[in-house]
Amino acid sequence: MSELEQLVDRKNKINAERDLCCELGNAWLTRLHDNEDDSIKYDLYTRLITDLEEYSQIVKSEVVDINKRICQILNVESIEDTEYAHICQSKYGLEKPND
């Protein structure tokens, strides 16, 4: 398997993970707001969201690094100039909080 194929395979796996993190974060934000009067649940969702945000940044950083390497291999300026650009996908219909 070429380096490009390995990068694309890894990127596909973490893009799915990134998309899921986004949707889960939106679900938890909704639950956070639904539980404003319950301090225990509110604190729980606050901690979950904080941890998820930290993890999401790690995943996002990895995607950025992979995109840079793909661009170098293909000698292009932007990942958008390739077939490997990825638009976030909503699998569960939770594109925004409070949906």
pLDDT tens-place string over residues 40-85 = 999 999 999 999 999 999 999 999 999 999 999 999 999 999 999 9
- C-alpha 89: how far from chain center: 10
pTM of the model as a whole = 0.79
- Quick one: what percent of the chain has pLDDT higher than 90? 75
**Rounded mean pLDDT of the chain?**
91
Residue 58 in 3-state DSSP?
helix
Decide if 30 contacts 99 (C-beta within 8 A). Answer: yes
Angle at 67 between CA 58 and CA 76, to 5 degrees: 160
Each domain of the chain, given as residue ranges in start order, spans: 3-81
Dihedral angle, C-alpha 16, 19, 20, 21, nearest 10 °:
120
User: In the structure, what pLDDT confidence band is assigned to residue 98 with cuts at 50, 70 and 90?
Assistant: low
Q: Is the pLDDT of residue 7 over 80?
A: yes
